[in-house]
Homo-oligomer: A and B are copies of this chain.
């Protein structure tokens, strides 16, 4: 059976040592945040995650959710209701919510640590409150005063949960194709009719009411076609105690996250109310979506961490084989086998997970800090800067950390060998659960397009990020971080900068040409950008995680330069940090060399083959009589 212990020392290191979250206390909204509070919060949440949520992870996977055809409703696996009750009683649903509605008003960066632990302990469970938070955000930002008073206190207390109802059978990525209709009523409400699919936590038995936030098209002649005619509605399961006409038609059988209900929701002239302006639903949706993307990144981090821990434990216990360097010598065949953690390639597997996971933790928390600063900083310039960083980093957090999570779960499974493939050890669940994170809240391909298209080419957010990197490069240098580490990151950053500049130059040139009547083709540049978008995101991610390692290495190096009075554990912590940093630079950063080459390409090689020729044929097999006149003459 798998185990989970929250990596509290590493969390504390990131939050207190590197990010100095206690300095957030200078912001009035966060008065009272200090290192001791942080440590206490971490310790308490860890207890809930380790002792309550984690034990329900494997059983929840086996049992799954149950759909009841008669009531068209869903029940969650054994123990989930009680665990959710404990989570609410601890006041955690409203930890980072507005005190005006009963929240504790704590920084998002601390809530991020909570999310990580929940995702490690029980990702399927963590999704129920996770989606509520998206609904909270949309209502908090765009709801009327009345809507806020009605819904927010209950979402904050956890008595009610929320959902995001976007996808329909015919549309996922392309929400312009939404068909769900909202018919205006005399009382100002709407009757919502349509089918939404893949609605996580769409129905369940954890809370007494479920607040659906639903994208739909107002049934009126002036509703614009496509994406510009989408509005957001709030549709509660119960309206003032009365059952609304929204039901769960069925739940999906999935590869993983069996303990989370993935619902088909049938809106059958359900009563709903507009949230924000008519036809501006996409704007409100993005308020939910952007934070949801950070949340999915955290799922990736959580799975990576728990997969790592279990692989380490197994590698420390499992004895198999003799050291390779002994074998070459004269060790007898019956020499005692060693724990497999002593084999170099097993260490490579483990260190790959570790280096990327600790880097991801640093990134996730740093990004969440930008969220706090962008919302609560009293300094307008700092606010703006933080917002720009947040926007730039969001697709990286979502895509990179989830691409890695799947790889990490699989790498951990590989350490277990055949034992990883069977249910008993619990590792294969992580690979199955993690797999969805690459897909939902915008596939990772969409994240890559968001990064290169919107964030970099349109909004030009790269230079702002590179300034932050430069500051940290200098700080790391001052702290005595090895020059090789610095240049490893700065070289990759230079490639990113060069490629970006070239693309932006082409966009500008083509746009100008088109404007002055020459044959400019800005679309072709965008197509080329799309053709390398995923590699662009990979390169940016390498740089960003390298950057995070410099942030950590700077603190670790400084600490190690003066270890008088430190405990052995403390010294070990910083030593391991430096060793892991070295591994990242030597073994992971070199991927930038490959990306530098593929990023020189565009969409040409992708668009050459006509769409219909992608399928394999069985046509020419008939034509077998023609003698072979070229190629190899004889079998060799």
Contacts and interface: CB of A to CB of B under 8 A. Distances in A.
A35 B449 contact: no
A605 B587 contact: yes
Nearest to A348: B606
Contacts of A445: 345-346, 349, 414
A634 B344 contact: no
A545 B526 CA distance: 31
Interface in A552-573: 554-555, 558-559, 567, 569-570, 572-573
Contacts of A36: 624-625
Contact of A523 (B23, B316, B324, B583): B324
B587 A630 contact: no
Interface stretch (A77-85, A166-174, A183-191, A496-504): A166-174
Contact of A351 (B18, B421, B575, B606): B606
A51 interface: no
Given A334-B176, A334-B226, A617-B9, A328 B523 contact: yes
Contact of A606 (B23, B167, B583): B583
A337 B567 CA distance: 63
B558 A582 contact: no
A448 interface: yes
A34 B117 CA distance: 63
A583 B593 CA distance: 18
A603 B344 contact: yes
User: Copies of this chain, how many?
Assistant: 2
B611 A326 contact: no
A420 to B, nearest CB: 7
A88 interface: no
Contact of A226 (B197, B224, B324, B332): B332
A206 interface: no
B18 A527 contact: no
A94 interface: no
Interface stretch (A66-74, A121-129, A270-278, A528-536): A528-536
Interface in A6-63: 6-13, 16-24, 26, 35-36, 38-39, 42-43, 46
B320 A173 contact: yes
B621 A8 contact: yes
A615 interface: yes
A603 B468 CA distance: 34
Contact of A345 (B531, B609, B636): B531
Contacts of A142: none
30 contacts: A8-B618, A9-B618, A10-B616, A12-B624, A17-B628, A22-B628, A23-B635, A167-B418, A173-B320, A177-B337, A224-B333, A255-B431, A328-B523, A343-B530, A345-B530, A348-B531, A372-B635, A413-B439, A414-B438, A421-B436, A421-B439, A558-B631, A567-B620, A570-B620, A576-B609, A582-B608, A586-B605, A587-B605, A591-B594, A594-B595
